[in-house]
Structure 1
Amino acid sequence: MQIIVVSNSLSKRIEYFVEAGKHLQTEVCFMTYEELFSCLPLLRQAVIKLEPCVSDETDFLKYALLNQAYKETLQRLSEMSLPDDVYFLNTPDALLRALDKKETKEVLMDKGLKVTPMLPSPQSFDELRQLLADCGRGCFLKPRYGSGAGGIMAIRYQPNRNKWVVYTTLRQVDGVIHNTKRINRLSVEKEIIPLAEAVIQTEAILEEWIPKVQLQGENYDLRVVCRESEIDYIVVRCSKGSITNLHLNNKAHWWNELSLSEEVRQQIYFQCQEAVQSLDLRYAGVDVLIERGTDIPYIIEVNGQGDHVYQDMFAYNSIYTQQIKNIKKKYNHANR
Structure 2
Amino acid sequence: MQFTLIGNPENRRCQYFIEAVKSQGFTAPFVVSYLDVLQQKVDLHPILAQTNYLRIESPGENWAVHCAFLKLGAHHPDLRNADSIDLESVDQLPFEKGRIQFLKQHHLGFVTFLNQLQQKIDLYPTVQLINSIEGIQLMFDKTSCHQHFVEHNITVAPALYHIKNYDDLLTQMRQQQWRSVFIKPIHGSSASGVIAFRIKGSKVQAITSVELVQNATSAKLFNSLKIRTYNNSKEIAYLVNTLAKEGILVEQWIPKASVEGGTFDLRMVVIGGKTKQVVVRQSQSPMTNLHLGNQRGSIQEVKRIIGFDKWQQMSHLAEKAVATLPNTTYAGMDVMISNTLKKSYILEANAFGDLLPNVLINNMDTYTSTINYIKEKEYA
The question of a shared fold, defined as TM-score above 0.5 by the shorter chain, is answered with yes
**Does the 8 Å contact 1:9/1:54 carry over to 2?**
no
Which residue of structure 1 aligns with residue 232 of structure 2?
Answer: 188
Aligned to 1:48: 54
Q: 2:322 aligns with which of 276, 281, 289?
A: 276
- The question of whether the paired residues in 1 share the 8 Å contact of 2:9 and 2:15 is answered with no
Please state whether the residue corresponding to 2:359 is helix, strand or coil.
Answer: helix
**Whole-Å separation in 2 of the counterparts to 1:20 and 1:228:** 16
* 1:155-194 equivalences in 2 (<5 Å): 155-158=197-200, 160-161=201-202, 163-174=203-214, 175-194=219-238
Residue 128 of structure 2 corresponds to residue 87 of structure 1: yes
Any idea what SS the aligned residue of 1:236 has? strand
Write the letter of the residue equivalent to 1:104: C
- Amino acid paired to 2:139: A
Q: Distance in 2 between matches of 1:311 and 1:248?
A: 19
Q: Show the 5 A alignment for 1:217-232.
A: 217-232=261-276
- Residue 148 of structure 1 pairs with residue 190 of structure 2: yes
- My pick for the range that moved more, 244-253 or 176-185, is 176-185
State the alpha-carbon separation in 2 of the partners of residues 14 and 76 from structure 1: 22
Q: Which amino acid aligns with 1:3?
A: F
The Cα of 1:63 is off from its aligned counterpart by: 4.9
Once the two structures are superposed, what CA deviation does each residue of 1:27-75 show, in whole Å capped at 9, x if it has no partner?
A: 2332113545743333223311111112365220145533332222122
Where do 1:54-65 residues align within 5 Å? 54-55=60-61, 57-65=97-105
Task: Report % sequence identity.
Answer: 27
| Deviation (angstroms), 1:332 | 6.9
Question: What is the number of equivalent residue pairs in this alignment?
Answer: 331
Q: CA 1:238–1:311 in 2, change beyond 3 Å: closer, same or farther? A: farther
Q: 1:4, CA displacement in angstroms?
A: 1.8
Sort the Cα spacing of 1:64 and 1:150 in 2 relative to 1 into closer, same or farther, 3 A.
farther
Q: C-alpha distance in 1, partners of 2:145/2:166?
A: 25
Letter in 1 for 2:32: M
Whether the 8 Å CA contact 1:239–1:251 is kept in 2: the answer is yes
Q: Residue type of the partner of 2:127?
A: V
- Are the equivalent residues in 2 in contact too, given 1:78–1:91 (CA < 8 A)? no
**Aligned residues of 1:186 and 1:192 also touching (Cα < 8 A):** yes
Q: Does residue 28 of the first structure (1) align with residue 29 of the second (2)?
A: yes
Equivalent residue number for residue 329 of structure 1: 376
Does structure 1 retain, via aligned residues, the 8 Å contact 2:103–2:188?
no
Q: Which amino acid aligns with 1:155?
A: F
| Equivalent position amino acid for 1:310 in 2 | P
Q: Does 1:4 align with 2:4?
A: yes
Q: Which residue does 1:312 correspond to in 2?
A: 359
1:19 match: 19
Query: Equivalents in 2 of 1:316, 1:165: separation in Å?
Result: 45
Structure 2 CA distance for partners of 1:9 and 1:132, relative to 1, 3 Å: farther
Among 58, 66, 70, the alignment partner of 2:110 is: 70
Q: Give the distance between the partners of 1:214 and 1:239, measured in 2 at CA.
A: 9
Amino acid at match of 1:308: L
The one-letter code of the counterpart of 1:150 is S
1:302 and 1:63 map into 2 onto residues whose CA distance is 18
Question: Normalised by the size of structure 2, how large is the TM-score?
Answer: 0.81
Q: Structure 1: which 4+ aligned runs deviate by more than 4 Å?
A: 34-38
Question: How many angstroms apart in 2 are the aligned matches of 1:328 and 1:170?
Answer: 43
Give the drift of 1:331: 4.5
Q: State the distance in 2 between where 1:186 and 1:92 align.
A: 38
RMSD value, Cα: 2.3
Q: Within the alignment, does 1:137 sit opposite 2:179 as a pair?
A: yes
Cα distance, 1:328 vs. partner?
Answer: 2.8
CA contact (8 A) 1:235 1:311 kept: no
Asked if structure 2 preserves the Cα contact closer than 8 Å seen for 1:102 and 1:205, the reply is yes
Counterpart position of 2:89: none
The answer for the alignment partner of 2:145 in structure 1 is 104
1:127 to partner: Cα distance: 0.6
**Residue 294 of structure 1 pairs with residue 336 of structure 2:** no
Within the candidate set 43, 46, 64, 1:39 is matched to: 43
2:163 maps to which residue?
122
Which residue number corresponds to residue 79 of structure 2? Answer: none
Q: Distance in 2 between matches of 1:173 and 1:221?
A: 30
Q: Is the 8 A contact 2:161 2:248 kept in 1?
A: no
Cα displacement (A) at 1:207? 0.3
Deviation per CA, 1:166-214: give whole Å up to 9, x if none: 1111112242211222211111112212211121011111000000000
Per-residue CA deviations over 1:92-146 (Å, capped at 9, x if unaligned) read 1110011111221222222222111112431011111222334332101111124
* Mapped partners of 1:75, 1:122: distance in 2: 28
SS at 1:79 equivalent:
helix
Structure 1 unpaired stretches of 5+: none
**1:246 and 2:246 correspond:** no
